[in-house]
Each structure stands twice: as structure tokens, then as C-alpha cells.
Structure 1
Amino acid sequence: MIRRHLLALVVVAVASIAPTAALAAPAKPTATAVFAGGCFWCMEHDMAGVPGVLKVESGYTGGKLRNPTYQDVLTETTGHYEAVRVTYDPSKLSYAFLLYKYWKLVDPTDDSGQFCDRGPSYRTAVFVKTPEERAAAEKSRADAAKKLKRGKMTTPILDLGPFWPAEAYHRDYAKRNALKYNIYRTGCGRDARLKAVWGG
């Protein structure tokens, strides 16, 4: 009788522990990288297509104003860049390869904006968090500069400060507004310019 009672207690204890253990399983490690490449709608759309990328968020970084809005950044007085924060799986995608993909999505020879979007907030930049990221970014930039078909590399490598997520209506813009987005992208000449800068 005592053995039967003890066995029942063990079964209950195991049943109560098992779900907790499953919930406590460590999450897979992820990493983030921040890039500016002109219109964040386009950067969000293109970066999301890179295998190993888990999430891309549009936002603002590089300026001194706290909690900037789109209207603030549009004044071109805040110092912010339109940027994207890329969350990726480092077991499937290296930071070096993500940098390689980044260069192919921008015109790094233009230090006044990108394509039809002009002004400081539309400039290119790679934002880094550690000395290791800076070293990788500088090597990647040097390699990319050798592959340019025209122009000179002007994209800076900058220390990352606060990243402020953009307003909800900017997020997933290309997915939610496919027709408007495609008209904008074609009219802006983004893909034609990329072909001229990088070839292919």
C-alpha cells in the first residue's frame, strides 16, 4: 500500500516537472546587425529575403533626438538615418556574408542619398557594436570597393547608438502595399542603378 502511494507521487511529480523542463529549454541564439541603405522599405524587403534572416525592422539611428518620428527625420536636421535592424541566425548566416549581401543592395558611391531619395537621412552606413564587427565591416567594405564598376566607396562604418523602431505604418510596407511599393521602386530607379554600380 505504501509502495503504491509512493509510486503515485512519483508519477505526479514527473508529470508536473516535464512541461516545465520543456518550457525552460534555451532559445536558439540570434544576432543583430544595423544598416542604412536609403529607403528602409526597400532595405527591409531585400534583407528579409536573405536565407538565415529571421526578422527585419525599419527604424532610425545615428542622430541625437530621442524617440524621433518620421516627420522629425524628414526635416533632415536630426542626424538620423533611415535604417534597418536585421535579426539573424548565426548558425546559418555569418555577419561577413550579411555584409556581402548588404553592399549589393546599395549604391555605396553616393554620399548624398540613395537613388531618387536625397538628403542625409537616406545615406548609406554600416553600424557596428563591437571591435570585431568593425574589423569585419572594414574588411568587407575594402573588398566591396574593389568590385565597384563605377564610382568610389563612400559608405562609413559607424558606432551603433540607440535604434528607434519606425512607426507601424512603415513596417512590412512592401508586403502590405505591393503595388505601390513596386511603382515606387521602379520609378526611383533603384534596380537600374544597382546594376550600373555592381554589374550583372
Structure 2
Amino acid sequence: MDKQIETAIFAGGCFWCMVHPFDQQPGIISVVSGYTGGHVPNPTYEQVCSQTTGHTEAVKITFDPTIISYAQLVEIYWQQTDPTDEMGQFQDRGDSYRPVIFTNSEQQKKIALASRAKLAASGRFTKPIVTKIEAAGPFYPAEDYHQDFYRKDPTRYAAETGQRHQFSQQHWQG
């Protein structure tokens, strides 16, 4: 199998809320919820929630770049987050919910930096864009009950994403 695949890692608050928007795109092979950016190997959800591991909740997206580009994924990412809030997203507060684009290559870094600069210059937001762009480190998949949460508990998922959807519609649909 010589099919080219790549991965992208995005943190944008609760990882439950970050799966569905990517999972629905053509060219997406998988979206895994997990933890990254910290100093504790194989952390548990409880450890990450304690805000002592340095990890943030994130999604690791495996994709076919001949169908969907990394640049397209970054554009989808911006529309799922509040890039002006560095210490959480919506009702989820703290370091483990910070918005970060974790890059896997110099090319991904260039694309993410250019996209962030374009967003900052767009005037779409009145506050500065504070989303970090950092080199990816180890990614640890979250426990099974966190995977594909929007399918497992659609009612709770809808409740969790209410503020996020409202924000997105206000800033992106108008």
C-alpha cells in the first residue's frame, strides 16, 4: 500500500467537541481523542484534568493529503475554536483546554503560521489571535469511552457544543 497519509494534531478545548467537524470530511481516515504537550507519559483523564501534567486535550487526525490538505484542516480548526482565548475554550477552562496547533513537520508549521497571520490580519476578531503553534510531541490516546463521543452520547455532545456552535455561527457564518 503506497497511499500517502499524514497526521495533524489540534487542541481546541474539549476533545469531544473537536472530533465531529473533522470526522465528517472527505479524506479523513481517523480522528482520535487524546492528550499531548505535557511531561507525564501515558496520562489518564483524571491526571490531565488535575492540570498538573502539562497535557492538553487534543485530536490526532489521520488523513489522505491527496483528498484534503493540511491547510484545509487548519481552516476547519479555526472555525471550531475561539482563537482569542488562550486559557480554555468556551465553558472548558484551564491549561488542559488551551488552543494549540501541534505541527508534525516544518511544512505544517509554515502553513499554520501563515494561516494564523492571515486570520489575525482579517479583522474577523477584535481581540488578538493567541492560539499557540508548537512542535508535536508524543500523543497519548484517551480512554475508549472518550473516543467518538458524539456518536456514543449525542444528547450530552449537543449540550457540550452549544456555546461553541453559537460562537462559530457569530464569527464564521455571518
Please, what TM-score do these two structures have when normalized by structure 2?
A: 0.94
The RMSD of aligned alpha carbons is: 1.3
Query: Do 1:125 and 1:156's aligned partners in 2 also have CA atoms closer than 8 Å?
Result: yes
Partner Cα separation in structure 1 for residue 121 and residue 25 of structure 2: 23
The residue identity in structure 2 corresponding to 1:86 is I
User: Which position in structure 1 is the counterpart of 2:21?
Assistant: 46
Deviates most, 41-50 or 152-161 = 41-50
Quick check: which one's helix share is greater? 1
Structure 2 spans left out of the alignment, 5+ residues: none
Cα deviation 1:8-61 (Å, max 9, x = unaligned): xxxxxxxxxxxxxxxxxx242211100001010110111112222111000000
Q: Does 1:88 align with 2:63?
A: yes
Partner Cα separation in structure 1 for residue 172 and residue 84 of structure 2: 11
* TM alignment of 1:189-200, pairs within 5 A: 189-200=163-174
The residue identity in structure 2 corresponding to 1:105 is Q
The residue identity in structure 1 corresponding to 2:29 is L
Query: Do 1:149 and 1:198's aligned partners in 2 also have CA atoms closer than 8 Å?
Result: no
User: Which position in structure 2 is the counterpart of 1:107?
Assistant: 82
Out of 86, 91, 94, the residue aligned to residue 116 of structure 1 is 91
Partner Cα separation in structure 2 for residue 104 and residue 183 of structure 1: 18
Number of aligned residue pairs: give it. Answer: 173
- Which has the bigger relative contact order, CA under 8 A and spacing at least 6? 2
Partner Cα separation in structure 2 for residue 185 and residue 131 of structure 1: 32
User: Which position in structure 2 is the counterpart of 1:165?
Assistant: 141
User: Which position in structure 1 is the counterpart of 2:53?
Assistant: 78
* TM alignment of 1:1-200, pairs within 5 A: 26-147=1-122, 148-186=124-162, 189-200=163-174
Q: SS at 1:107's partner residue? A: coil
Task: List structure 1 runs of 4+ shifted beyond 6 angstroms.
Answer: none
> What percentage of residue pairs aligned between the two structures are identical?
45
Shift of 1:82: 0.2
Shift of 1:146: 2.6
Query: Do 1:151 and 1:197's aligned partners in 2 also have CA atoms closer than 8 Å?
Result: no
User: Which position in structure 2 is the counterpart of 1:18?
Assistant: none
Cα deviation 1:99-144 (Å, max 9, x = unaligned): 1111111110001100000001101000012211111110011112
Partner Cα separation in structure 2 for residue 181 and residue 100 of structure 1: 22
Cα deviation 1:138-183 (Å, max 9, x = unaligned): 0011112233233210001101000000000000111111112112
Partner Cα separation in structure 2 for residue 112 and residue 182 of structure 1: 22
